[in-house]
Amino acid sequence: MAYFSNSISTMKLFIAIVLLFSQQCCQSQPKINLPTNKDNNSLLWEISGNGLQQPSYLFGTFHMMCKQDILFSKNLLLALQNSDDVYFEMDLDDPANTLGALMFMNMKDGQTLKDLVSETEFLKLEKYFTDSLRTSLKTFQKMKPSMLEAFLYPKMMLCKTMSGVEQELMKLAKKDKKEIKGFETIQFQASVFDSIPYEMQAKSLIRTIDSIQQYRLYFDTMLQVYKTQKIDKIEAMFNQPEFGLQEGMEFLLDRRNENWVVQLKDILKKENIFMAVGAGHLVGKKGLIELLRKEGYTLRPINNKD
């Protein structure tokens, strides 16, 4: 249940093509100097140095939470306003991705949930979806089990109105008429879940349903840690097996981070951007902060609480 690291939302890969315009845009923008946070406990980071004319910004998100809990600081809004384009894990603004999700959410080779679990376990899943989620599991038998876990999110939260940090950021970006872009396609993100054995995904789904009350506590703990913006505590959670964040970390985080940095080395030369990805992508030796530093960029924590 990688709430920090994975977006089951649908997005697309967009390629920037008007280099000259982007350069002129960046040069004409006023340069801002946002205050540094007194320590590393921030989800908002400035990317500078390495020949960049204007800074870009990296922000860690929480993919699904109560809408009233999604608040943006003054400095974050300034960083967003002073960026040319906004990058998410995928482009949330392209309706083609919604249609694409229907194509890529199912398991390969015609496998179904019945192929992965015992008859008793399947009956348990079927009963839970019918009684607790008020939906028929038959419609989703071919869906990758990790994606089925998205149905459980409402059970983790007590609020009636849910949203995602990316969705709320996108509203602001569109209001400012900023281009929405992404690092990955829906096809690629769906393929990430093919890299994790379906049997392992099915066990995780059953384990979560069996201990839904406990997982609600885990979810709340993760949310509270996210709100503190303490990078070291977020990283520490990835090493605690009870949170279920270790399974598939190489595929869900590490490899994707490396791929994004390759793209960023080209993107950052052309435009200054505001990128918002799951907070789990920021932390650790293989996180974006350290990977970008290794490439020669300067990353500075920005005060994100005012």
Alpha carbons 133 and 128: distance in angstroms, whole number = 7
Stretches in the chain below the pLDDT threshold 70: 1-31, 96-102, 241-248
Instruction: Give the residue from 177, 184, 25 showing the smallest Cα distance to 104.
Output: 184
Asked if residue 269 is part of any domain, the answer here is yes
The pLDDT of residue 246 is: 55
The pLDDT assigned to 242 comes to 60
Residue 93 falls within a domain, yes or no?
yes
Q: Which residues contact 270 (CB under 8 A, 6 or more apart)?
A: 16, 19, 22, 23
Per-residue pLDDT of 10-37, as tens digits, reads: 333 222 222 222 333 334 455 678 999 8
CA-CA distance, 127 to 136, in Å (whole number)?
Answer: 9
* 275 found inside a domain: yes
For residue 260, tell me if it sits in a domain: yes
Residue 206's SS3 state is helix
Q: Are strands 162-163 and 65-66 parallel, antiparallel or unpaired?
A: antiparallel
Q: Which domain holds residue 252?
A: 19-68+84-301
Is residue 153 within 8 Å of 171, Cβ to Cβ? Answer: no
Helix 255-270 vs helix 19-28: angle between axes, to the nearest 10 degrees? 80
3 within a domain of the structure (yes/no): no
- In this structure, is residue 2 part of a structural domain? no
Count of beta carbons in the 10 Å neighbourhood of residue 155: 17
60 beta partners:
277
Distances from the Cα of 167 to the Cα of 75, 183, 274, angstroms: 19, 16, 14
Q: According to the model, what pLDDT value does residue 10 have?
A: 32
Q: What distance in Å separates the CA atoms of residue 144 and residue 107, rounded to the nearest whole number?
A: 5
- The answer to whether position 12 is within a domain reads no
- 97 lies in some domain: yes
Domain count of the fold of the chain? 1
User: Residue 10 is inside which H or E element, if any?
Assistant: none
